[in-house]
């Protein structure tokens, strides 16, 4: 991957990889989820993480870390984000599995699973729902199911 090659060329070594990229688009009806949309989600959310980890790993030494962004929806599901939820759940499984492969090399692999994050891909209806949940939550933190 070009990003890894450029980083190792300019900085000599690679200590941390943060995989944090995703495609998400709400689909209200399962029948409206097209194969093209489904493929785009899988390729961005799973293939991207796989290829970045694969490219980075040979440059990492003991004490290095790989951190991948999963999502609460990958653990709990979401009726309007079927494909996205599936890929985020896959990331959590990938992290656990990759961690077992790299532990003997001294490379840590972990995941974070944030709840809703304000991005342009969140539709207005979700923003209203999250805002209401935030108002009910201790310290204004969004609960996992909102």
- Catalytic machinery residues: 84
DSSP β-ladder status, 65-69 and 108-112: parallel
Q: In sequence order, what are the residues at sequence separation of 6 or more whose Cβ sits closer than 8 angstroms to the Cβ of residue 68?
A: 18, 19, 20, 49, 53, 91, 94, 95, 109, 110, 111, 112
Task: Give the span between the Cα atoms of 40 and 97, in whole angstroms.
Answer: 24
């Amino acid at each position: 991957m070009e990003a890894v090659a450029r980083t190792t060329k300019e900085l000599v070594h690679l200590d941390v990889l943060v995989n944090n990229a995703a495609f998400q688009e709400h689909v209200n009806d399962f029948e409206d989820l097209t194969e093209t949309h489904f493929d785009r989600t899988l390729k961005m959310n799973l293939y991207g993480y796989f290829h970045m980890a694969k490219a980075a790993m040979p440059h990492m030494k003991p004490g290095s870390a790989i951190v991948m962004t999963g999502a609460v929806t990958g653990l709990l599901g979401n009726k309007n984000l079927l494909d996205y939820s599936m890929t985020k759940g896959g990331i959590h499984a990938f992290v656990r599995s990759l961690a077992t492969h790299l532990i003997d090399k001294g490379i840590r692999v972990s995941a974070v699973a944030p709840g809703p994050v304000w991005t342009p891909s969140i539709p207005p209806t979700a923003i209203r729902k999250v805002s209401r949940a935030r108002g009910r939550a201790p310290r204004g933190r969004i609960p996992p199911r909102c």
